[in-house]
Amino acid sequence: MPKNNMPKNWQPPAPAWQANWDNSEDPLVVGYFGIQADSPKLLDAWAQTALVGKYAPEKMEQGTYIDKAEVKNYLYIAYWRRSVYQQWLTANNTSTWWASDERLNEGVGYWREIIAMPLDRLETLNSSTQPHGVSAVADELEGPIEEHGYAGGMRDRIPLSENDKLLSNQKISALNEELTVASQKLNNGQRIIVIPPENTCVIRSGQNWGDCVGEQASFYLKQVHPVLLKGMKYLRDNPIDTQCYSMRFVDTKTDHWANTSQSFGLGYAADIYAFENWAKSHPTHLAILDRFMNMVMTFGENLQLKLWHEVVVLPKEGCEFEYINCHKNTGLLSYA
């Protein structure tokens, strides 16, 4: 593990664990499958046949959020090994369903974002030994680890950063907000396929307060969560200042779309430095950190809040985003 940014004699502020996979030859894939509609029923009908069976994902989650255009989105999150994902594509006729002209005439917006997760471009962090997200399909959680709690720790946990700066040449500027993103428009623009730029950084950063009760739950919901929402909104609404292409703040749901005590931010940025710079110096993140540390100091060893994240720096190939009848600010669509 590279430690290029770790301060000398560093002592982590709190214990943390990271995921470990034995089989690095078969990397991971995550698929985000969404619908913009008043109800998830059309996407549910697809998922109930497509995301089951022999090649079903190893882990699946669901969530909802209201986007910048005030449109409600329902989404499924599915994790596979790449070899299984490729078999799933063929066996379940997924490509045929998404490519069908029926999707164009159902009065809703569909989107799918398929992300390759090579293990040398991936890092995870968990504040407890309870795994979340992609860590739930790992062979084990390692820890406690040293490489966290300092500026650059996220990069230090990505193996490829030892010999690659992971920089992007795709920046958003005040003069030209549009990126040079490879895209293909089909069906008179109703269907748009986007290939995200190499080294785009994707973060999924989650919060689980389900084990917090009484005063601890109240502290999180009244003191920490509102500040977190403010930070996510700033990233979503200020792409030029932050180089964050897209940020969604998602409420995690059960498999029947019932509420849970979990949430996560799903963000795409020009590169890993965009998120790093925001975390290191921007007032909205410093406020989040301040409120969280207050919670840690208040409850100490009894703290039941669980935080986690996964970060992947995208490879040149293996990722594909598709948007069908979606509004122009969906995901990376506005940069197509």
Higher pLDDT, 319 or 14: 319
Classify residue 12 by burial, with Cβ atoms within 10 Å: 0-12, 13-18, 19+: middle
Mean pLDDT along residues 104-128? 97
The alpha carbon of 110 is separated from its chain's Cα centroid by a whole number of angstroms, namely 18
Mean pLDDT along residues 171-198? 79
Mean pLDDT along residues 85-107? 90
Per-residue model confidence (pLDDT) at position 178: 55
Helix H or strand E segment including 41: helix 41-50
Mean pLDDT along residues 313-320? 95
The SS3 call for residue 269 is: strand
Helices (H), 251-322: 272-281, 283-299
138 contacts 11 by C-beta, under 8 angstroms:
no
Helices (H), 51-101: 82-91, 94-99
For residue 263, pLDDT over 60 is answered with yes
Classify residue 82 by burial, with Cβ atoms within 10 Å: 0-12, 13-18, 19+: middle
| Number of CB atoms found within 10 A of residue 107's CB | 9
Which tokens is 160 given?
């490829």
Per-residue model confidence (pLDDT) at position 91: 84
61 contacts 79 by C-beta, under 8 angstroms:
no
Summarised one tens digit per residue, pLDDT across range 121-156 is 999 999 999 999 999 999 999 999 999 999 899 999
Per-residue model confidence (pLDDT) at position 179: 62
User: Angle at CA 104, nearest 5°, toward 100 and 110?
Assistant: 90
CA distance 305 to 249: 18
Per-residue model confidence (pLDDT) at position 325: 97
Per-residue model confidence (pLDDT) at position 175: 47
Per-residue model confidence (pLDDT) at position 174: 53
* Confidence band of 180 (pLDDT split at 50, 70, 90): low
Mean pLDDT along residues 163-177? 75
CA distance 141 to 124: 10
Summarised one tens digit per residue, pLDDT across range 49-58 is 999 999 999 9
Counting residues of the chain whose pLDDT is more than 90, the rounded percentage is: 85
Mean pLDDT along residues 42-46? 96
Active site residue 285: no
* Confidence band of 4 (pLDDT split at 50, 70, 90): confident
Mean pLDDT along residues 192-199? 94
Summarised one tens digit per residue, pLDDT across range 208-262 is 999 999 999 999 999 999 999 999 999 999 999 999 999 999 999 999 999 999 9
Residue 222 makes CB contacts below 8 A (sequence gap 6+) with none
65 contacts 248 by C-beta, under 8 angstroms:
yes
Helices (H), 107-170: 153-156
* CA-wise closest residue to 140 among 18, 222, 314, 297: 18
* Confidence band of 37 (pLDDT split at 50, 70, 90): very high
Residue 39 makes CB contacts below 8 A (sequence gap 6+) with none
DSSP letter assigned to residue 227: H
* Confidence band of 93 (pLDDT split at 50, 70, 90): confident
* Confidence band of 183 (pLDDT split at 50, 70, 90): confident
* Confidence band of 330 (pLDDT split at 50, 70, 90): very high
The SS3 call for residue 237 is: helix
Mean pLDDT along residues 268-276? 96
Average pLDDT taken over every residue of the chain? 93
CA distance 221 to 204: 20
Mean pLDDT along residues 309-327? 96
State if pTM tops 0.85.
yes
Which tokens is 204 given?
């999924």
Among the listed residues 132, 148, 285, 309, the single catalytic one is 309
Domains of the chain in sequence order:
28-118+169-197+316-335 (no CATH), 120-168+199-313 (3.30.70.100)
**Helices 283-299, 225-237: inter-axial angle, 10-degree rounding:** 160
